[in-house]
Structure 1
Amino acid sequence: MSNSFVIIIMRNEWRAMWHARIPAILLSLLILLLTVAGFASHHHWQHHAQRVAKANQQSNQDWQSQPNRHPHRVSHYGDFVAKPIHLLSVIEPGIIDQSGHLVYLEGHRLNSANFNPATEFTSLGRFPIITPAAVIQWFIPLLLIIAGYACITSERREGTLQYLIGNGTHPISIVVGKWLALFLPVMCVLLIFSTLFAFFVWQQPEGLLRLGLMVIGQCLYLASWCLIVLAVSWFSQQQHSALLALLLLWVCVCVIFPKGLANLAQITYPTHPRTEAEYHAEEKLKTIGDSHNPNDTHFAEFKANILKRYGVSSTDDLLVNYNGLLMQEGERLTTAVYREQQALHQTQLLKQNTWIRRWLWLSPALALHYLQMAVSGSDVAHHNAFIEQSEQRRFGLISYLNQLHTEQVHHHDDKNQRLDADFWKNAPRPTVLLATLQVSTPSLIAAIAVLLLWLLIPLMLLLRTLKRT
């Protein structure tokens, strides 16, 4: 294979595309679409980021401005925590709009994320926002199909393919030249777009690493589509048959398989509504114990153990506030039950993702979607990590307040006593950070493996055929 022949064939293909006008127009539309999608998605992300920042600021201000209060009152006053978002979610917002971005932290309850923007849109706002990730995942393959479906069949029909081979041009040189003619323009657009983004994300957590993985995945995806287009065009005898085969493949790979696998995963491993999970938690708590019922078996035994441990005969003789100890025990029980329900929900989501990854090889578009969500911090793994951090913050905060209730509030004047506001200002409220990329390692490995598979299969088929030519 001669490099000079490859370059000549690539240039001739570009010249033919330029004279045909259609590929050039499509490339211009691609640049325009990526630009519009980038600005629209950035505006949406900026609006979301401003709401998150405002919620954090308001939550901190409200918490710090609390007056002198009873600790148990403060635990029911609660706190808010907002989900951290990565700038790469401008490219792929993932499940951010559906999963919610605020969690209300309070005693005796484990709340899920609320205020998801997808439910707050008007009827016109419910149309999906075109994102750069969607353009790369869906529209660029269509552009490659339209630009390249006839690149080999037309040569065969006009007799130039046999002429080139007969004059000593190796078939591999022809394929490589045409592959470069298809791949290089879209890769250049992609790299320019990614380079511009690198100036904004390099200060974000793992910014360049995440962006680099995204670009690698996108390059593998588009390179595989270029090979698929060439392979179908090589094996097809007619242009219309090549176009129909490629369009059918695009519909299956980009539309039917991703939607179908998601629906089948939900049917196979269904998740229960939040209200149902809360109902099961409340029912289980009734069987474990009720701290407000003086005749409850569990808490009667708990009281007896406390009196025995401190060597007194009455709660009035305790050196600490028994009501605070009671709140600690109640929080321990409710936390265990609600965490169990949360674990069941997350287990179902994990099973769904595991099941989809098992069939991910059917669709490189879905594999790219998984990779882009993972590196942008907008997948299920990052959301679960946010929920877990929020719960750790909630439990630490409520434990601190219950400890104040136990040690700082006197039992004989429990209901009327107030603690100084400085106690709330010193309460443990650690910042909830975006999880590291490590939480999405299984999705990343599966996605890259599938993208490599879809790159190798058409490449091996072409090489095997071309060597026989």
Structure 2
Amino acid sequence: MISLLWKIACNEWRRLWHARIPALLLLVLMTLWAIAALAAHHHWQDHANTVAEVTARSQHDWQAQPDRHPHRVSHYGDFVAKPVHPLSVIEPGILDQSGHLVYLEAHRLNSANFNPATEATSLGRFPLITPAMIVQWWMPLFLIMIAYATVTADKITGILAFMRGNGTPGLAIASGKWLALFLPLFFLLCLQAVLTLVWSWQSEQALLRLSILVFSQALYIAGWCLLVVAVSWFSKQLHAALLTLLLCWVCICIIFPRGLANLAQVSYPTQPRAEAEYHAELKLQSIGDSHNPNDPHFAAFKENILKKYHVSRVEDLPVNYHGILMQEGERLTTAVYREQQVLHDAQLAKQNESIRNWLWLTPSLALQYIQMASAGNDLPHHQAFIRQSEERRYQLIQYLNQIHTFKVQQHDDKNTRVSADFWKNAPRPQVNLPSIAVSRSSIAAGFLVLMGWVLLPGFLLFKVSHRI
């Protein structure tokens, strides 16, 4: 049986080679893939160099600060860069839209900035062609153009009836033709994986992430090969096979993904950043104003501090009351802004959930979910980066507020300068790339759809392969 399948596959390769056009299309696909890989690598390298340069400069500027007042240092701020996995060369995901640098400062929870998508000119707004896009969009399209006639032509010329008349099982013919289509494309996927692993094997979870990526791509292409053979076997005319497959490609790769994304955004809209900050400011005003001595919240807070230290006046405190006030204000501000961030993340989670409920319509989008998760550039990875950045910001600002409380004399608060050694020893924990486990729900949903994508065309091919 194996030798029969291999003989059918070899005959199919020989036919495609002598037809010239399929071989030329395959050469064009490989050329496009090489160009996409080089362009994506250059884009990633430029991005990584920029992030490294900005990070080094920020580190130098922070360490080079002179003796200062700690509150001034808290407004001087700090930068943190988003870790970028080498697999971003294959799939940049939302990296260009979400940004990669966050400015950390007191009383603020900033979003990521410096995203190339918003900085590009109108001529540069075309999407970057990446290896992931080649697999997701262009490889199925080239496969359709190469192999839409793989069985239909045999039916028209009578070759299929001859083979069936000689006792060749229909399932063997279908399997051999599927093998002839799948193996060259699978070889390209493996070649891409090996080249990627050579220069990224030292990165975080490189082998695991790359294995998930390649396996998902193999399932996706296997499903397309099954669909092409099934439709070609079912169709009686060449143009019918071509039009049917092109319609499937347009719906699966373009209409359904775009439609689901737009529907999710309309159903669960997110607040603009300016509106979210406005609501945060309103809530902060309702909680209390530290600059108003008659504010109920901070009046009660002041009374508790005086009782804690058994004094009757702020001037008699053994610590700087302004520093304590800064700590309380930062705590309240952080709680409000984090609450707004949670609401924003909840809306994004609803959008993702809405899309995942209809993900079975489009294996193309399921593959994109897995590719972005494998490359560390999907929404859960970005949100984990924002949470790490915010935790670093809060620790840093509260550390400076404690210095303000215990190292600055209250009677000469504004004129005091604290040693720069405190800034050099400030807690600035490194922000690391999250584990791929943060995207396990997206990966599980994507693989479930891809499994169905293989089984459904496989079942259709099994049924139609019994027909002549």
Cα distance in 1, alignment partners of residues 78 and 5 from structure 2 = 64
Please state whether the residue corresponding to 2:161 is helix, strand or coil: helix
| Aligned equivalent of 1:443 | 442
Question: Over residues 69-100 of structure 1, what are the superposed CA-to-partner deviations in whole Å (9 max), with x where a residue is unaligned?
Answer: 11111101110111111110111101100111
Distance 1:405 1:175 in 2: 76
| AA at the equivalent of 2:46 | H
What is the match of residue 270 of structure 2? 271
Matched, 1:316 2:289: no
Aligned to 1:43: 42
Q: CA deviation at 1:318?
A: 1.0
- Structure 1, residues 159-189: CA drift from partner, whole Å, max 9, x if none? 1111111111011110011001111111111
Partner of 2:364: 365
Partner Cα distance (1:402, 1:204) in 2:
37
1:77 matches 2:76? yes
Match of 1:281 in 2: 280
- Matches for 1:293-332 after TM superposition, within 5 Å: 293-332=292-331
Residue 413 of structure 1 corresponds to which residue in structure 2?
412
Deviates more, 1:256-265 or 1:125-134: 125-134
User: Distance between the aligned counterparts of 1:114 and 1:280, measured in 2?
Assistant: 21
Name the structure 2 match of 1:375.
374
Q: Is the 8 A contact 2:216 2:450 kept in 1?
A: yes
Match of 1:424 in 2: 423
**Cα distance, 1:468 vs. partner?**
7.3
Alpha-carbon distance in 1 for matches of 2:23, 2:184: 10
- Corresponding residue of 1:189: 188
Letter in 2 for 1:365: S
Contact 2:233 / 2:465 at 8 angstroms: preserved in 1? no
CA distance in 2, matches of 1:280, 1:36: 47
Look up the match of 1:134: 133
TM-score by length of 1: 0.98
Distance 2:195 2:375 in 1: 16
Report the AA paired with residue 335 of structure 1: T
Aligned-partner Cα distance in 1 for 2:157–2:203: 54
What do the CA deviations read for 1:232-285 (whole angstroms, capped 9, x no partner)? 111111111111000000000000000000000000110111111111111111
SS of the equivalent of 1:402 reads helix
Residue pairs, 1:51-450, within 5 angstroms = 51-450=50-449
Provide the rounded CA distance (Å) in 2 between the counterparts of 1:28 and 1:219: 20
Q: Distance in 1 between matches of 2:464 and 2:95?
A: 46
Whole-Å Cα distance in 1 between the matches of residues 288 and 46 of structure 2? 45
Identity among equivalent positions (%) equals 63
CA shift digits 1:296-332 (9 cap, x unpaired): 1110110011111111100111111111110010001
1:308-361 Cα deviation digits (max 9, x unpaired): 111110011111111111001000100000000111111111111111111111
Cα displacement (A) at 1:211 = 0.7
Distance 1:138 1:428 in 2: 46
Is the Cα–Cα contact under 8 Å of residues 210 and 374 in structure 2 kept in the other structure? yes
Q: What amino acid maps onto 2:185 in structure 1?
A: V
Q: What is the Cα deviation at residue 465 of structure 1?
A: 3.9
Report the residue type matching 2:354 in the other structure: W
> How far has the Cα of 1:466 moved from its partner?
3.4
Per the alignment, residue 457 of structure 1 pairs with 456
1:462 is displaced (CA, Å) by 2.0
Pairwise CA RMSD: 1.0
CA distance in 2, matches of 1:391, 1:295: 31
By how many angstroms is 1:467 displaced?
5.3
Q: Mean Cα displacement is larger for which, 119-128 or 435-444?
A: 119-128
Inter-partner Cα distance in structure 1 for 2:3 and 2:168: 11
Instruction: Identify the range of structure 1 (459-468 vs 302-311) with the bigger mean alpha-carbon deviation.
Output: 459-468
What is the SS of the residue equivalent to 2:102? Answer: strand
For 1:26, give the aligned amino acid: L
Q: Secondary structure at the residue paired with 2:79?
A: strand
8 Å contact kept, 2:233–2:464: no
